[in-house]
Structure 1
Amino acid sequence: MNKRIMDWPTFSGALALLLLVTIPLVLFREAGKQVVSEANTFMTGNFGFLYMAMGLGVFAFLIFVAFSKNGHVKLGEEGEEKEFNTFSWAAMLFAAGIGSSILYWAVIEWVYYYQGPPFGLTAESKEAIQWATAYGIFHWGPIAWAIYTLPALPIAYFFYVRKKPVLKVSEAVRPVLGKWVDGPVGTVVDVLFMFGLMGGAGTTLALGTPMIAQGVNYLTGIPVTLGMQAVIMLVCTGIFAISSYSGLKKGIKVLSDINLWLVLFILGFILIFGPTRFILETTFNSVGILLDNFFKMATWMEPFGNLGQFEETGFPEGWTIFYWAWWLVYAPFVGLFVARISRGRTIREMIFGTMVYGTLGCILFFGIMGNFGLYMQLTGQFDAIAFMDANGAPATIVEIIAQLPFSNLLVLVFTVLAIIFLATTFDSSSYILASVVQKEIDGEPKRWNRLFWAFALCLMPLVLLFLGGLDTLQTASIVGGFPLIFIMVLLAWSFMRASTADIKEEDGYESPTIHIKRWRKEGKRRGGSDVLRNSDKDKND
């Protein structure tokens, strides 16, 4: 049965690529780190324009689709109710797409912009303060969520409208690549996606684990060591393995709901007991700066710096291009997951829901947590910059949270939230990885398959943690994700080609939902109409 269900070339190819990259980094740590770093500098320096153009292009494309006939198509049967209510749906997509990285960067990212502002501004100036409050929201805002949303369009369309019982990136580009998808080309597409996701997961662990360790240190006094960080990784692995094993509704949904309630608590606490007026006014001002300069920020590079006309800051390559590359690595995974949980919604609802809820969530994090830290710095109540220079970013993050009343309680909630954020990202990741290496999904991916990828996601980062190479794996995944720029183009092309053909006026009909009935009928004949209807039912485990 497993031989029929499992896509072993993709399964083994993804593991082989990860081992081929990781083993040399383990055996030749310094040389490997240098090679990867130079490759990253070459990619972002010479092809940064492609990343910037991709981000803005994806954003514009999704706005077009949302208001077109294609946006009216419903993902599922006519009259079918949404599989998940809006609260749970928003919680799952946000938790899967962001993870504990938001806790890290929302609190501390303003420091980097304040000390190294864009546009050649003077460090720690009044202008630098303004941009420091806005650039984090920009990097985690509409374009980031647009990059996440694009892969969801063709994947959800083929899964719920054309009734293809497959959750694969390669299947979503079939209208363009045709039968090539069934051979090595399709396998390469899926393997590249999986490698990027596993490397991106290493990035999340690299940021989240030291931060959690500092929280534990603050609460218990236990010194931060590699052993403590390894235990934290294993505990998080156990949590998301159980969640992934339990399934989408019994595990991932429940954990995401808990996660969202904790988020609302800690953000509400900081807003109420912190400098409320400063936080509200600064956040409102930051949104205004973003709206006024959106296209400037989305297209700003430093072409004249190469000619010696201006001093190069390296800001676009170090921040915007890197962020777009990072979102791109995660995009197929988040797209797959958003597609999976969007049954019963229209394409338009999925687009605007993901972009709006995702952006609003990030605005709340950066607006409340980030501006609280900035307030402490500007008023002299806590010198975050000096503390970070002496103790590092993870310790500074925890110390900023500790400036609040009931500091022990807040640090505890913050630490637990970071653990759950890691778990919700990884249980979603293992669920999707398991889906990609199966030829078809009947109910849910096999439980043993989900558990395997849950532990595989942790194994390599755990090894690299002891070798100090997590940042190298992160950079390698960004470099390896470069081909995904072209895969994004294929995904957009495939969706438009397939959906436009299906809603093309035939026999005098004009409603898109009428023209896709033939797919629903064919799906029923193939037994596809019940695919994933009972999403907690596991068969042939």
Structure 2
Amino acid sequence: MRTRLIDWPTFIISFIVILAVVIPLIIYPEAGSAFVAQLNNVMSDRFGFLYLTMGLAIFFFLIFVAFSQNGQVKLGEEEEPPEFSTPAWAGMLFSAGIGSSILYWGTIEWAFYYQGPPFGLSPTSDQLETIQWASTYGIFHWGPIAWAIYALPAVPMSYFFYVREKPIIKISETLRPLLKGYSDTMVGKLIDVLFIFGLLGGAGTTLALGTPLISRGVADLTGFEDNMLLRTIVLLVVTVIFAISAYVGLKEGIKRLSNLNLGLSIFLLLFVLITGPTLFILETTTNSVGLILDNFFRMSTWTEPFAVMEGVEETGFPESWTVFYWAWWLVYAPFVGLFIARISRGRTIRQVIIGSMVYGSIGCLLFFGIMGNFGLFLQITGEFDVVQVLNDQGAPAAIISIINQLPFSNIMVAIFVFLSVVFLATTFDSSSYILASVTQKLLEDEEPLRWNRMFWAFTICLLPLTLMYLGGLETLQTASIVGGFPLIFIMFLIAWSFMKTSTRDLKIDEQYEPKTIILDMKNIRQKLKRRRKKKQSNDKD
């Protein structure tokens, strides 16, 4: 029976852990929220430097891997072409990794930095420098380090799945060379459960950002009141879309939604660029890229170490933004990495690493550079006070107000809302697909069982919906980040496991000495036989 393919221990334990966290938050929302928030503050304050160090280490490690011999390894057969075209591949990895959050933060994040700038600057006395950093820091937070954190798990998972032909594509399997038999015990299950818990918390936060934004846009277009009923309807519509897509599958569902995302995004960005302050957007974005290049290490390592000195006020900027973002990418990394691995058959490891960092960073740069700088232009020229709307009515209202300043505002708000819906559906679609993949054994070209995909699709919807009514989504997000703290060390083990295994395989491959292989090396042996025959044929010639 195909149900035997389900990894029932991981499936059941994951669901129990999720309920064990969510139910206390439902019964004791205030006490649970306070406890989780306090625990998060302790971790970010005391271990913030660890997150920053991790980000830099992962970035440079992947650059090394990409241009090393390990980066030349093909994920699949040597003559096999990529499963998806480059535009389709880039669109899917971008949509899964970012989702509707890019529409939210790409449009409004600058306003938070504008009011609370980094490096101890005052928003009033150092206004020019404040404006420059406001347009820059979002691009940095969503740039190469973020996508490097995403790409790290993708490399070993794709290697073990396509080169070593392991039947399960998940974190514990990539650590088997280090954990040995412990990968099949509770140690391995715990690692996979942490991944699933982080993913559901991440999906809940995406929902927390995307649903109010969509409902605010619908209210603006229709005149309906932006209330919980409207948000519930929005969520149900999104659920129907991504449930259908999850049911259809990877190539027919997720790929089509991602392509639609890509087309609508390009249209929206071009429209804002052409009809908005084109020269200001281009110059400010270019200036921001220059600031990042000049201050990359400063921004990557700033921890306010002298804030404890008398007379120096601590802003909390690194903990509130950079540390938080690195922790957030870390929680999402196994999911996005697993998805990138699943769609990267036929590519080399170098293509996966460079493609993820380059395409992902460029996509985020365009959103922050065009959408964000359009809003910043409205603020500094006095055409529209975005900051006041943000402080008085909240971020969703401020974002829709910015879109309303464009020509054909009703049409553009409708496109923006529709794009938000598709982005949100794509994220949930990818999430349910990956959750199903983690709890099931798969062949290379096989997709998870449909009932398994649908189960996780509705689980992703129902848990955040319950917490949305109880006001506990932010707590779930924080709890997932706290629970994801061990992933710092798991990331190190993943990198070690990959380098140890792939380097050994390459040496064996070159020396034709398969007798030293301990693990199942069926695929490597097949390649060695083909190469021996080719070499013998060349020698005869």
TM-score, structure 1 normalization: 0.94
- Give the alignment partner of residue 502 of structure 1, picking from 500, 505, 513: 505
Per the TM alignment, residue 440 of structure 1 is displaced from its structure 2 partner at its CA by 3.4
Partner of 1:111: 111
Q: What are the equivalent positions in structure 2 for 1:428-443 lying under 5 Å apart?
A: 428-441=430-443, 443=446
Deviations 1:429-463 (A, max 9, x none): 00000010113346100000000000000111000
Describe the superposition over 1:477-520 as per-residue Cα deviations: whole angstroms up to 9, x where unpaired: 1111101111101110111011000001666579xxxxx99642
Matched, 1:23 2:23: yes
Question: What pairs with 1:331-370 in structure 2 (closer than 5 Å)?
Answer: 331-370=333-372
Matches within 5 A, 1:214-253: 214-253=216-255
| Residue matched to 2:180 | 178
Contact 1:70 1:347 in 2 (8 A): yes
Secondary structure, in 3 states, of the residue corresponding to 2:136? helix
Gap regions ≥5 residues in structure 1: 511-515, 525-541
Superposed CA deviations along residues 42-89 of structure 1, whole A, max 9, x for unmatched, are 110111111111101000100000110000000010110110000000
Shift of 1:523: 7.7
2: distance between equivalents of 1:508 and 1:522? 12
Residue 205 of structure 1 aligns to a residue whose secondary structure is helix
Question: In 2 relative to 1, CA 392–496 (structure 1 residues): closer, same or farther, beyond 3 Å?
Answer: same
Residue of structure 2 in register with 1:488 after alignment: 491
Q: Is the 8 A contact 2:163 2:524 kept in 1?
A: no
- The aligned counterpart of 1:528 is none
The amino acid of 2:278's aligned partner reads: T
Distance in 1, Cα, partners of 2:520 & 2:361 = 34
* Partner residue of 2:374 out of 362, 372, 380: 372
Are 1:137 and 2:139 counterparts? yes
SS of residue in 2 equivalent to 1:223 = coil
**What is residue 69 of structure 2 aligned with on the other side?**
69
In structure 2, how many angstroms separate the alpha carbons of the residues matched to 1:522 and 1:502?
Answer: 10
Tell me, yes or no, if the aligned pair for 2:254 and 2:429 is still in contact at 8 Å.
Answer: yes
Give 2:133's aligned amino acid.
Answer: W
Looking at structure 2, the residues matched to 113 and 388 of structure 1 have their Cα atoms a distance apart, in angstroms, of: 13
* Separation in structure 1 between the aligned mates of residue 348 and residue 317 of structure 2, nearest angstrom: 38
Deviation at 1:388, TM superposition (A): 1.3
Task: Give 1:291-330 correspondences, 5 Å limit.
Answer: 291-308=293-310, 310-330=312-332
Whether the aligned pair in 2 keeps the contact of 1:163 and 1:523 (CA below 8 Å) is no
Q: What do the CA deviations read for 1:123-143 (whole angstroms, capped 9, x no partner)? A: 141111010011000000000
Amino acid at match of 1:258: L
Shift of the 211–523 alpha-carbon distance from structure 1 to 2, 3 Å rule, reads farther
Could you tell me how far 1:320 is from its partner in structure 2? Answer: 0.2
Deviations for 1:151-180, whole angstroms, at most 9, x for unmatched residues? 001100001101112111110111111110
Q: Which stretch shifts more, 73-82 or 298-307? A: 298-307
Q: Counterpart of 1:448 in structure 2: which amino acid?
A: W
Deviation digits for residues 324-367 of structure 1 (CA, Å, limit 9, x no counterpart): 00000100000000001011110000000000000000000000
Counterparts of 1:46-61 in structure 2, within 5 Å, are 46-61=46-61
The one-letter code matched in structure 2 to 1:212 is I
State the SS of the aligned residue for 1:304: coil
Partner of 2:418: 416
Report the Cα offset of residue 231 of structure 1.
1.1
Question: Structure 1: how far apart are the matches of 2:44 and 2:521?
Answer: 45
Partner of 1:8: 8
Counterpart of 2:308 in 1: which secondary structure? helix
Contact 2:164 2:520 in 1 (8 A): no
Partner amino acid for 1:119?
A: F
Runs of 5+ unmatched residues, structure 2: 514-518, 528-541
**Matching of residue 479 in structure 1 with residue 501 in structure 2:** no
Give the drift of 1:302: 1.2
- Give the residue type in structure 1 aligned to 2:446: G
CA contact (8 A) 1:102 1:365 kept: yes
Structure 2 SS opposite 1:79: coil
Distance in 2 (CA, whole Å) between partners of 1:523 and 1:508 is 15
Q: 1:376 is paired with a residue of what secondary structure? A: helix
Change in Cα spacing, 1:164 to 1:394, as seen in structure 2 (3 Å) is same
Which residue identity lines up with residue 48 of structure 2 in the other structure? Answer: G
Q: Deviations over 1:367-411 (max 9, x none)?
A: 000000000011111000111122111011001011000000100
Q: TM-score, normalised by structure 2?
A: 0.94
Give the one of 278, 281, 284 matched to 2:283.
281
Q: Distance in 1 between matches of 2:204 and 2:103?
A: 16
Q: Superposition RMSD on alpha carbons, in Å? A: 1.6
Residue 91 of structure 1 pairs with residue 82 of structure 2:
no
* Contact 1:77 1:520 (8 Å CA) reproduced: no
Residue 534 of structure 1 aligns with which residue?
none
Confirm or deny that 1:397 pairs with 2:372: no
Distance 1:111 1:493 in 2: 40
C-alpha distance after superposition, 1:173-216 (max 9, x if no partner): 11111110011111000000000000010000000000000100
Structure 2 partner of 1:82: 82
> Residue 531 of structure 1 corresponds to which residue in structure 2?
none
The secondary structure found in structure 2 opposite 1:305 is: coil
Instruction: Name the SS of the counterpart of 1:272 in structure 2.
Output: helix
Deviates further, 500-509 or 402-411: 500-509
State the alpha-carbon separation in 1 of the partners of residues 522 and 146 from structure 2.
Answer: 32
Asked if the contact 2:276–2:406 (Cα under 8 Å) also holds between the matched residues in 1, the reply is yes
Q: Per the alignment, do residues 521 and 305 of structure 1 end up closer, same or farther by CA in structure 2, a change over 3 Å counting?
A: closer
The code of the aligned residue for 1:181 comes to S
Q: Hey, what's the Cα distance between the residues in 2 that align with 1:288 and 1:26?
A: 47
State the match for 1:535 in structure 2: none
Structure 1 CA distance, aligned partners of 2:260 and 2:385? 33
In structure 2, the residue matched to 1:533 is none
Is the contact between residue 90 and residue 359 of structure 2 (CA under 8 Å) also seen in structure 1? yes
The residue matched to 1:224 in structure 2 has which SS?
coil
Q: Alpha-carbon deviation of 1:2?
A: 4.3
- C-alpha spacing 1:502/1:521, structure 2 compared with 1 (3 Å): closer
% same residue: 64
Distance 1:253 1:506, change over 3 A: closer
Give SS of 2:114's match. helix
AA aligned to 2:367 is F
Match for 2:333: what amino acid? A
Give the secondary structure class of the aligned counterpart of 1:362: helix
Matches of 2:510 and 2:431 in 1, distance apart?
Answer: 44
The answer to whether the 8 A contact 1:72-1:346 is kept is: yes
Q: Return the offset for 1:306.
A: 2.6
In 2, Cα distance between the equivalents of 1:222 and 1:357?
A: 38
Q: Distance in 1 between matches of 2:97 and 2:293?
A: 23
